[in-house]
Structure 1
Amino acid sequence: MDQTPGNNRRDDLQETAERLNLALSAAQMGSWDWNLDEQTQFWSPQSRHILGLDPEASIHRLDQWQTFVDPDDWPTTEATVNQAIATQQDFTHQFRVRWPNGDCRWVSLYGRVVPQGRSQRLVGVLQDITERKRAELSLRASESRFRAVFEQAAVGMARLSPAGRWIQVNQRLCDILGRPAHTFLGRHYSEITDEADRGQDEVYYRQLISGEQRSCQFEKRYIHGDGHAVWTLVTASVESDGDQITAFIAIIEDITERKAAREELLRRADELATTNLMLARTTALLERRNSELDQFAYVTSHDLKAPLRAIANLADWIGEDLAGQIPAENQRQLTLLKSRVQRMEALINGLLEYARIGRRERQITEVNLAQLLHSVIDSLAPPPGFQVQIAEAMPTLHTHRTALGQVFANLIGNAIKHHHQPQGTITITCRPQGDFLKFCVSDDGPGIDPQYHDKIFTIFQTLKARDDFESTGVGLSVVKKIVESENGRVWLDSAPGQGSRFYFTWPLSSG
């Protein structure tokens, strides 16, 4: 075996080259050698793989390498290489290459000018940094998006160091707290915290720094630049690199108005609770007073009616005992006495009925209006000369049957009672009006002068002398009170000689 020094030296160089190539391959790096005099390039197999070149060709013309450099990166790449040659200095440069299949890869190039006699060579290594570059670009884009969100957020945002010092604040936070950004940086958050909230802050800070919590939310007061307290809602979370806390992210929202509104709402709630208590007591008192009033009305009506019945009986007995013996004038006076007793009893009954409206619990049922009206007319038993006409297709509604029946009974009864002739026609119509029904009870009677339209709905008011016409003046006032207790209204359209049209509204469904 040839063991000459020359052979040993070649073996050592070959072994060194193999180790270098192995190291470069392990680092995903390739070597290259440019002969500037001959304008040729030598690329190692790993270099050709990184650049996407023909794996069989190791030597290329220098002017060919422009073909695989991304056109956007060629001007800076060419300028970097030319400057290195001119200045005889090492260089590092990153650029993109385009593979034949269109794939784009990032490459980091390191080179050095090596003088060789009168010749020059440019040698170096290159490395595929595509994944690292993509990660950097992704991180940069993410940071750019974060900065955009950070600066444009509608709420205050800040980053604080693990020690609790301001690192970064956005403009919205500066506006909320009335402080320029530079006055925050480097200061501890507690310096502008209301003294009453510092203990609370310390508790949450310890929970975050110890890892007991990763985020928390709480209300606190900061001191505004002009000295007043600003209520805020703070959401703090941990920013970490593995197990190491790198910063705190704080979202700070101004809730001063919300806090004031909440306190006002609580104050109003307290007032409402007090009012409800007073109302409950008042309701109980009213119920007791109503009960007492009912009892008083019952006793009073009984005590008033008893002597009236006695007077009526006495008048009857006198008439019977002195039958045929009483002069005409005394007989007229006796008849007038009986009519006064009947009027007094009617007044008492009307007054009691008026007082009870709206105080008695009435059952809501399904009411067929046509059936109700026929029942009312039958109970009134109109004289033979009167006709009561009911419009077709009367609706059905849920309401207080007795109350509505009483309204119709009073209006129809009045139309008959106050008619100026022994015969007449009464017409009842109905049409929808929003959530109500609009009824009309019209007659062909004598009519009523407009100056009395309001007067007739007042209790005890009549348009004729009571000595000439028996009337208590309670009926229409009862109608008005019943209708208004159902949130309806009643009115009259009439004129002398044109009959009367009484209108009233009634809810489709009574509550």
Structure 2
Amino acid sequence: MERAANLTADDFRALADALPQMAWVAEPSGDIIWYNRRWYDYTGTTIEQMRGWGWRDVHHPDHVERVVERISEAFRTGEPWKDTFPLRGADGEYRWFLSLAAPHRGPDGAILRWFGTNTDITERKGLERRLARHAIDLRRSNEELEQFAYVASHDLKAPLRGIENLVGWIEEDLEGSLTGDVQTNMELLKSRVRRLDSLLDDLLAYSRAGRADATMDTVDSKALVEELAVLVSPPEGFTITADASLPTLQAARAPLTQALQNLIGNSIKHHDRPGEGRIRVETKPGGDAVEFVVTDDGPGIPEQFRERVFGMFQTLRPRDEVEGSGMGLAIVRKLVDRQGGKVWLADGSDGRGLAVHFTWPRDGRKGQADGLDG
């Protein structure tokens, strides 16, 4: 400490010149009285050119008025200052800098000097621009894909209805004559038509998932699950339990309802013992997020397939055994993602079945459904 107290002004100048940033000192009025060597090396100027407010000469003409206005206000109010702007180098090219300035005050609170630094952030600015372009391109691609899914599913409905009607008319014309393989093939044709109709419905639901979810509401999730337990019309003997842990929360009701309904419906559809099947919906303790768990006692999903089933049109059993488009979990993931949450699969209780976990923001704030600040 004693050696540090003996440092001279030349020592501090040498320290300032070694900084990777430009450094400067200004009078309380804002007149610049000193720059470190980094400033002169970059701008190719002299202290005589830069004294006072001469620094304006190396600012980009599109930004200089804004910078002068903002820094003048900081010098007037005595508040610390932060801004970004391009500065012209000795080669005539401009680079972006982050400028920070703070006042140094005396014992009476009066400003004695201003100290500031300029840090080159050109690479960061370039990265930000590239990320912004990528975000725009990604948003446009998503919008185009969703529009395609909507148009495809909507426009294909009409010819599909025509095929369905045609099959019905053929059956009426051949009533009493359909036997053997012809009858079997006719039933297979009708089954394929129903499957395509279901697939188009699910494709349309996927394209719309999470779109109109901005309206927040007070949702009693226990009452919601109890309503869904009736709405999905489970087979006789199948039980759906809404656990007492299910909370009341501020949430977008429509997407939460759709996510829970899809999961409950999936569990029923793929259960191997529907006459005695059980589903339990509960929540786990958390912070800003509610962790919902939908557990069934069905056949479950082998661990090696648990990521695959979140893809579109993915099923593990032949569609002739279980009617379905393979879109249920894809829709759930999209709904949860739109709320900033996560969804994952785990084993059910007692070594049987499947537990689907997903997080949902407790107070409607998207992007924090994992319980962490964004």
Q: TM-score higher than 0.5 here?
A: yes
SS at match of 1:426: strand
SS at match of 1:372: helix
Instruction: Give the partner amino acid of 1:489.
Output: K
Q: For the structure 1 residues 460 and 301, does the alpha-carbon distance in structure 2 shift closer, same or farther, using more than 3 Å as the test?
A: closer
Deviations 1:376-435 (A, max 9, x none): 223212222111111115211122211111111111111111122222221111122232
- Matches of 1:392 and 1:201, distance apart in 2: 72
1:402 and 2:254 correspond: yes
The one of 260, 265, 272 equivalent to 1:420 is: 272
CA contact (8 A) 2:277 2:296 kept: yes
Partner of 1:473: 326
Deviations 1:443-487 (A, max 9, x none): 222333333323322222212111222121111122222223323
- Matches of 1:499 and 1:351, distance apart in 2: 27
- Map 1:476-487 onto structure 2 (within 5 A): 476-487=329-340
Partner of 1:499: 353
| Greater RCO (CA < 8 Å, at least 6 residues apart) | 2
SS at match of 2:118: helix
Partner of 2:118: 260
Q: For the structure 1 residues 383 and 260, does the alpha-carbon distance in structure 2 shift closer, same or farther, using more than 3 Å as the test?
A: same
Partner of 2:8: 172
SS at match of 1:313: helix
CA contact (8 A) 1:446 1:497 kept: no
Partner of 1:366: 218
- Matches of 1:377 and 1:174, distance apart in 2: 80
Deviations 1:282-337 (A, max 9, x none): 37x945x6665555444322332222111111111111222212113211211110
- Matches of 1:478 and 1:390, distance apart in 2: 22
Structure 2: stretches of 5+ with no match in the other structure: 15-32, 54-101, 105-111, 366-374
Q: For the structure 1 residues 270 and 292, does the alpha-carbon distance in structure 2 shift closer, same or farther, using more than 3 Å as the test?
A: closer
Scaled by the length of structure 1, the TM-score of the pair is: 0.48
The one of 193, 196, 203 equivalent to 2:46 is: 196
SS at match of 2:117: helix
Give the aligned length.
283
Q: For the structure 1 residues 317 and 290, does the alpha-carbon distance in structure 2 shift closer, same or farther, using more than 3 Å as the test?
A: same
The one of 312, 318, 322 equivalent to 2:174 is: 322
Post-superposition shift, 1:202? 10
Partner of 1:119: none
Instruction: Give the partner amino acid of 1:446.
Output: P
Post-superposition shift, 1:499? 2.1
Instruction: Give the partner amino acid of 1:453.
Output: R
- Matches of 1:202 and 1:457, distance apart in 2: 64
SS at match of 1:309: helix
Partner of 1:510: 364
Structure 1: stretches of 5+ with no match in the other structure: 1-150, 155-169, 179-188, 204-232, 236-250
CA contact (8 A) 2:264 2:294 kept: yes
Query: What RMSD over aligned residues (CA atoms) do the two structures have, in Å?
Result: 4.0
Partner of 1:436: 289
Instruction: Give the partner amino acid of 1:301.
Output: S
CA contact (8 A) 2:213 2:253 kept: no
CA contact (8 A) 1:447 1:497 kept: no
Instruction: Give the partner amino acid of 1:379.
Output: L
Q: For the structure 1 residues 442 and 234, does the alpha-carbon distance in structure 2 shift closer, same or farther, using more than 3 Å as the test?
A: closer
